[in-house]
């Protein structure tokens, strides 16, 4: 996606830049959230977390080290985040992306996660907690185009959220 102007609305739910953030981008059917790990129990009933989506678990970077990143998908994403909180210790924040009105299919969501893994691997700016790269699922040309468009919007938001794991050096 070439650089085009867009507007972003970031709602700071707690009135703090370190709290829960709800992200909306102009001309995009997606929605994003950043949830600090400590806030996850209080956010479980959110409508956004009842949808299928892609999540990024981000662990803080040690001195001179890249951040740790785990990329996953779930339906619903909220229940999987609870499981991840019980199983994974490294992360301090979850970045979640879902689509409004469930406009993405399960294969498209898996495709987006697989592409994110590819991009993170290529960029080498994060230590991936995923054990293996996920193969790209088979999609029709139209489904792939929709997934790539969603991915491009998602990627345009990551630097704004402090995540540069997908940007080429």
Q: pLDDT, tens digit, for every residue of 131-153?
A: 677 789 999 999 999 999 999 99
Residues 80 and 86: their CA atoms lie apart, in Å, by 10
Q: What is the pLDDT of residues 67-80, one digit of tens each?
A: 999 999 999 999 99
Query: Can you read off the two tokens belonging to residue 14?
Result: 């707690």
Percent of the chain with pLDDT strictly greater than 90: 79
Residue 149 is encoded by which pair of tokens?
Answer: 């468009």
Q: What is the pLDDT of residue 167?
A: 85
In the predicted model, is pLDDT for residue 2 greater than 70? no
Enumerate residues 6+ apart whose C-beta is below 8 A from 135.
114
Long-range contact pairs involving 99-103 (C-beta distance under 8 Å, separation at least 24):
99/29, 99/30, 99/31, 99/51, 99/53, 99/150, 100/29, 100/30, 100/31, 101/29, 102/51, 102/52, 103/29, 103/146
> What is the model's pLDDT at position 1?
45
pLDDT digits (tens, 9 = 90+) for 86-121: 999 999 999 999 998 778 899 999 999 999 999 999
CA gap 107, 91 in Å, rounded:
26
Mean pLDDT of the chain: 91
CA 161 to chain centre: 10
The predicted pLDDT at position 22 comes to: 95
Q: What is the pTM of this model?
A: 0.93
Mean pLDDT of 13-20: 94
């Amino acid at each position: 996606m070439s650089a085009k102007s867009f507007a972003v609305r970031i709602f700071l739910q707690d009135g703090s830049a370190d709290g829960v953030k709800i992200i909306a981008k102009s001309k995009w059917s997606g929605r994003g959230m950043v949830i600090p790990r400590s806030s996850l129990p209080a956010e479980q009933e959110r409508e956004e977390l009842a949808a299928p989506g892609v999540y990024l678990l981000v662990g803080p970077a040690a001195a001179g080290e890249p951040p740790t990143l785990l990329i996953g998908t779930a339906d619903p994403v909220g229940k999987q985040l609870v499981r991840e909180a019980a199983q994974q210790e490294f992360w301090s924040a979850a970045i979640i992306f879902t689509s409004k009105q469930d406009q993405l299919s399960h294969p498209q969501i898996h495709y987006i996660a697989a592409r994110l893994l590819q991009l993170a691997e290529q960029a080498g700016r994060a230590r991936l907690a995923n054990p293996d790269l996920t193969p790209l699922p088979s999609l029709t040309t139209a489904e792939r185009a929709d997934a790539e468009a969603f991915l491009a919007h998602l990627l345009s938001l990551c630097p704004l959220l402090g995540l540069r794991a997908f940007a080429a050096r």
